[in-house]
Amino acid sequence: MIWAQSPDRVIGLDGGMPWHLPEDLKHFKDRTLGHPVVMGRRTWESFPERFRPLPDRTNIVVSRTLDADDAAGDAVRATGAVVAADFGAGLHAASEADGLDLVWVIGGATLYEQALDVATLAEVTVIDTDVSGDAHAPALDARWRLTQADPSPDGWHTSAEGLRYRFERWERPA
Ligand SMILES: NC(=O)c1ccc[n+]([C@@H]2O[C@H](COP(=O)([O-])OP(=O)(O)OC[C@H]3O[C@@H](n4cnc5c(N)ncnc54)[C@H](OP(=O)(O)O)[C@@H]3O)[C@@H](O)[C@H]2O)c1
């Protein structure tokens, strides 16, 4: 799983992200490039049309409605993305495309909740901002360990626009 959150786990507001942090977009690209990305329909719709599908990654969009609606589903498939009827079908499509060695679940909140049982890695960008939101990252329980923090577990980078952020890696035994 990979996401960016505020300290109180906000990841989204009104179908978008309540911050602009190019350094995090670069981090996301560096981590996910070359691997399948599985996302919910609302996350797919949050990307501007010119940016989807995300290039050089098999894009898998989990959606009951797109799966059931031929025209809407075909419009998404026409971009090169794969439509999956549920989360399990999304993972299956990812394994068909690239093998299951590394599949990224890229959100949103509903997909992270479903991925918690199978995921063993969470790349979390913590952004030091106080925002309200309507989508939240899942809580990682005691099985998860912080295995890497950049620059450090309580340190911050400062973005060109003055936003403080930290990259954390959390892992859980399979
Ligand atoms: N900060 C970050 O790193 C980050 C990352 C990703 C997203 N976000 C934000 O998160 C928000 C979107 O998250 P969200 O939780 O509202 O939506 P979401 O998880 O992106 O999408 C939800 C939709 O996915 C489909 N879906 C989910 N589980 C399914 C299942 N088991 N079977 C079939 N379809 C399923 C459904 O689509 P249908 O209704 O079509 O059936 C559902 O309405 C946005 O604000 C976005 O910007 C933030």
CA of 133 to the centre of ligand 1 (A): 14
Q: What does the pLDDT look like over 112-127, one tens digit per residue?
A: 999 999 999 999 999 9
Average pLDDT over residues 38-55: 97
What CATH number labels 7-171?
3.40.430.10
Q: What does the pLDDT look like over 60-113, one tens digit per residue?
A: 999 999 999 999 999 999 999 999 999 999 999 999 987 768 999 999 999 999
- Nearest atom in ligand 1 to the alpha carbon of residue 134 is 45
Q: What does the pLDDT look like over 9-30, one tens digit per residue?
A: 999 999 999 999 999 999 999 9
CA of 145 to the centre of ligand 1 (A): 26
CA of 106 to the centre of ligand 1 (A): 9
- Taking CA atoms only, the protein residue closest to ligand 1 atom 31 is 86
pLDDT surpasses 80 at 160: yes
Probe residue for ligand 1, chosen from 6, 64, 127 as the CB with the greatest number of ligand atoms within 8 Å: 64
Burial of 76 (0-12, 13-18, 19+ CB in 10 A): buried
Whole-number pLDDT of residue 97 = 82
Measured from CB, residues less than 6 Å from any atom of ligand 1 are 3-4, 11-12, 15-17, 39-43, 46, 62-66, 86-87, 106-111, 114, 135
Q: Place 134 in a pLDDT band, splitting at 50, 70 and 90.
A: very high
- Taking CA atoms only, the protein residue closest to ligand 1 atom 7 is 108
CA of 84 to the centre of ligand 1 (A): 13
Whole-number pLDDT of residue 174 = 86
Supply φ then ψ for residue 49, to 5 degrees: -55, -35
